[in-house]
Structure 1
Amino acid sequence: MKRTILNGVAGFAALTLVLTACSGGSSDGGSGATGGSGDSAAAGEPITITLAGWSLDTTPEFQVLADAFHEANPDITVELKEYDATEYDTQMIADLAAGTAPDMYVQKNLKNFFTYQDGDQLLDVSDVAEGLSDDVNGVDAYEVDGKTYAIPYRQDAWYLYYDKDLFDAVGVAYPDGTWTWDDYAAAAEELTTALAATGSSAKGTYQHSWQSTVQGFANAQSDGDLLSGDWEYMVPFYDRVIALQDAGAQADYGSITTNSLTYQSQFGTQQAAMMPMGSWYVATLLAQQKSGDANTFSWGFAPIPQVDSSTVDNPVTFADPTGIGINPAVDDDVAAAAKSFLAFIGSEDAANALAGIGITPAITNDAVQATYFGLEGVPTDDVSKTAFTTHDVRPENPVDANTAALQNILSDAHSAIMSGSVTPEQGIQQAMDRAKSEVLG
């Protein structure tokens, strides 16, 4: 998922200056810093450290990690501070500037990691990284000049979710792990027509409004170089989704944005038979089916469709790791407690705790897989297991000074194309022109 913070190079430069100017404390967590939890404690005394999170009612992973860590470390309590999911980075930047940010904060994706790190807003946690198992995925994504600035606890991938009951109702075969995007598009149209014939208003698929749902796949599956500013390879991906939208096989972009549709409600209340979405949705759907916020129905997830059959044996998908870093404006004792927490989130114990609620952790060894598929409600068919265990996950955001500015340009292009203001060719060409004039010189 990508969130817009600032537009263009000017915004990016201003953001960098703000972060650098407000970096408050020393990069090694010196005791003269300000803006952490303020809960100092002598060695061995109880201490509370704070952690940023979002959508706490529907995103249980933060509390699960906090509780599991506290159980193993009863002298340290992790207190959650909730942020708005869609404005997370904007609010975090404001709190860092004001000196009111929590002791630890999540790197929701890699889009803004460079900005935080370059602005001296992340503590060097190389000592924690050095003690982690080689099984932990995504650590290298947080390395800059040989130092590590965050520890991953999640490594998502994007799947194709599908409603078995809706497929069964009209006799359409489930995704079998070999689908290309053309197969997916054909199935979406077939499902839409067949469901309509039964009186159902459900569409064949649902594509959420994020730019990730098109551009993430284009970058990963076309070996595209986002930083180059040459993005012609995105055009066929947009042509396909515009055709599905025009055919009525998925909700149109205008309806999604105007009516504030959520992907959870669209798939969870069976308004769509399929949906490309990240692996984090497994935990959400399980929780919502249990609470009654989602319908009770049989579902599964399959490998995401591919451009052609050459990659179906090891499907190419995308997702940034999700890591946690430490606010450098904390006292030494808080920094030490926070590092203990980071060491925990990179452990197999934490991975099993996350797998136990349907989250894909940064460690996915055999023991973690057994926990994940032993969870009540998680699909255990061979296709779902293959989607979880076999894929080539490529990062969505390269770590670079230009990433945020280029992604913001592409976000504007996505909105213009999906709303029908421009054709895919026109929108991508305009974005490339902007990238060259505003960012790449």
Structure 2
Amino acid sequence: MKRKYTAAAAVTVVATLSLAACSGGSSDQPSATADNKPVTLTMSTWNLANSPEFKTLADGFHAAHPNVTIELKDYDAAQYATLLTADLAAGTAPDILTMKNVTDMVTFASGGQLQDVSDVKLQSGIKGAASYKLDGKQYAIPYRIDGNVIYYNKDLFKAAGVPDPDGSWTWDDYTAAAEKLKTGLKTAGSAALPAYLHGWNALVQNFATAQVPASALKGDFGYMKPYYEQALKMQDGGLQLPFATVTANKTTYQAEFGKQQAAMEIMGTWYVATLLQQQAQGAADKFAWGMAPVPQRTSKTAGTSNTPITYGDPTGFAINVKTDQAKTAAAKQFLAYAESQEAALTLAKIGITPALTDDAVVKVYFGQSGIPSDDLTKFAWAKQKIDPQNPPSPKTATLNTVLSAMHSAIMTGSESIDKAISDAEAQYKNQVG
């Protein structure tokens, strides 16, 4: 899931770009334009005041290409897709379009509003690029991707007398650990619950899709049943807050883990920067914590000798189809820079999870003050296989609507798992044909 922001209405901001020499830039890359004439690009962003990644990338690229100026056009995050769609229709959209959601890429590419950027060479080891392919063409280049991990409170585990995760957990192991935590926390006099499951349907459904593996686009959702059985077992056993409570009270995952209301929480790696900031500012309690791989379907993908399977979507950059040829050349150079190791290192320094996570990036990322540096945390963050949360297809928007309703029906108990799945399958096939 992408982080949700609140911001003012769209406003253009010119980035305060560094005029640093190119010694730290991409000197091995060709110049953005053959004659080095000044070029001004515009780029869409959201919540610019609290999202330093955009200016960081603009500054880094400018250092390598001083003739290129990037102006950042900031949009209201809550209405980002709507406002950007309106600007595209009016012919006033920026040259570089940040893809906040994969579904936006599908909509814009299907409407002929994005350039084919298949000629931008992908870095070896880059994650999330496949999510931006449609009909065999690459329409955006990822610069960051956030997979899900287990966040766990080491202090609460210790108080409960339960061993920390070791990276080998299946979903049965996860549930068993939660049951031990329930007993141990009660004995220790703690009111914390063993775990917290946020209300997003992806936190059940997408693990099933990634780990089975399966394709929800086919309209057969029966493979999700074991994952719902596990989620309901946790809920009915008092191991996590009920879904109805979470949705009715608008419970936040930041408060549940940050204020030590839950000993474990499965959430995206974007939460790291938030947790560090909240602990530093006093909005979250200070306690020892770590990350572990998400539970696996079987032991075949569990353990640090394997690659744990999780899910998540990238964030990336695309190019407006109406951008002229000279600006397109510079924009493609920016896309290439944004996925480079150089850019990944600058993002890691500010707590962003880059789409490229090699050993050098891992070292920089875990050099941040306050972040755990144990081997399991590093492994969970860097070595996971991230399956797409939103498959790039025109059917994805309909699929998400159907699956969200199915999730609510199951988790509130208004329908049995079998009935809810059957109804969702019928609804989906009726809508997409």
Deviates more, 1:189-198 or 1:337-346: 189-198
Corresponding position of 1:10: none
- Residues 1:85 and 1:167: Cα distance change in structure 2 (over 3 Å): farther
**8 Å contact kept, 1:345–1:351:** yes
Task: Could you tell me which runs of 5 or more consecutive residues in structure 2 were left unpaired when the two chains were aligned.
Answer: 4-11, 15-34
Are 1:165 and 2:158 matched, yes or no?
no
Deviation at residue 138 of structure 1 after TM alignment: 3.0
Deviation at residue 84 of structure 1 after TM alignment: 4.6
Deviation at residue 216 of structure 1 after TM alignment: 0.9
Q: Secondary structure at the match of 1:124?
A: coil
Structure-2 separation of matches of 1:223 and 1:206: 25
Deviation at residue 220 of structure 1 after TM alignment: 0.6
Note the alpha carbon deviations across 1:367-403, whole angstroms, 9 max, x for none.
2122122222222212112213333322222222222
Corresponding position of 1:26: none
Q: Secondary structure at the match of 2:300?
A: helix
Corresponding position of 1:381: 374
Amino acid at match of 1:289: Q
Corresponding position of 2:241: 251
Which of 380, 386, 408 is the equivalent residue of 1:393?
A: 386
Corresponding position of 1:350: 343
Corresponding position of 2:56: 64
Amino acid at match of 1:428: I
Corresponding position of 2:211: 221
Q: Secondary structure at the match of 1:113?
A: helix
Q: Secondary structure at the match of 2:318?
A: strand
**Matched residue count:** 403
- Residues 1:239 and 1:146: Cα distance change in structure 2 (over 3 Å): closer
Deviation at residue 254 of structure 1 after TM alignment: 2.3
TM (normalized to structure 1)?
0.83
Deviation at residue 56 of structure 1 after TM alignment: 4.1
Structure-2 separation of matches of 1:195 and 1:427: 35
Deviation at residue 170 of structure 1 after TM alignment: 1.8
RMSD: 2.7
Structure-2 separation of matches of 1:87 and 1:250: 32
- Residues 1:73 and 1:256: Cα distance change in structure 2 (over 3 Å): farther
- Residues 1:192 and 1:58: Cα distance change in structure 2 (over 3 Å): farther
TM (normalized to structure 2)?
0.84
Corresponding position of 1:97: 89
Q: Secondary structure at the match of 2:423?
A: helix
**8 Å contact kept, 2:39–2:327:** no
Are 1:190 and 2:183 matched, yes or no?
no
Q: Secondary structure at the match of 1:126?
A: coil
Corresponding position of 1:295: 285
Deviation at residue 243 of structure 1 after TM alignment: 2.2
Q: Secondary structure at the match of 1:68?
A: helix
Are 1:231 and 2:224 matched, yes or no?
no
Structure-2 separation of matches of 1:106 and 1:377: 30
**8 Å contact kept, 2:131–2:392:** yes
Corresponding position of 2:117: 125
Amino acid at match of 2:134: V
Structure-1 separation of matches of 2:323 and 2:388: 30
Deviates more, 1:241-250 or 1:139-148: 139-148
Corresponding position of 1:416: 409
- Residues 1:238 and 1:284: Cα distance change in structure 2 (over 3 Å): same
Corresponding position of 1:206: 196
Amino acid at match of 2:38: E
Q: Secondary structure at the match of 2:424?
A: helix
Deviates more, 1:387-396 or 1:315-324: 387-396
- Residues 1:418 and 1:98: Cα distance change in structure 2 (over 3 Å): farther
- Residues 1:289 and 1:56: Cα distance change in structure 2 (over 3 Å): farther
Deviation at residue 224 of structure 1 after TM alignment: 1.5
Moved over 6 A (4+): none
Corresponding position of 2:428: 435
Structural mapping, 1:140-159, within 5 Å: 140-159=130-149
Structure-1 separation of matches of 2:50 and 2:173: 33
- Residues 1:335 and 1:260: Cα distance change in structure 2 (over 3 Å): farther
Deviation at residue 434 of structure 1 after TM alignment: 0.6
Corresponding position of 1:283: 273
Amino acid at match of 2:110: D
Q: Secondary structure at the match of 2:195?
A: coil
**8 Å contact kept, 2:206–2:311:** yes
Q: Secondary structure at the match of 2:196?
A: coil
- Residues 1:422 and 1:252: Cα distance change in structure 2 (over 3 Å): same
Note the alpha carbon deviations across 1:87-116, whole angstroms, 9 max, x for none.
443443344334443332222343343222
Deviation at residue 175 of structure 1 after TM alignment: 0.7
**8 Å contact kept, 1:37–1:103:** no
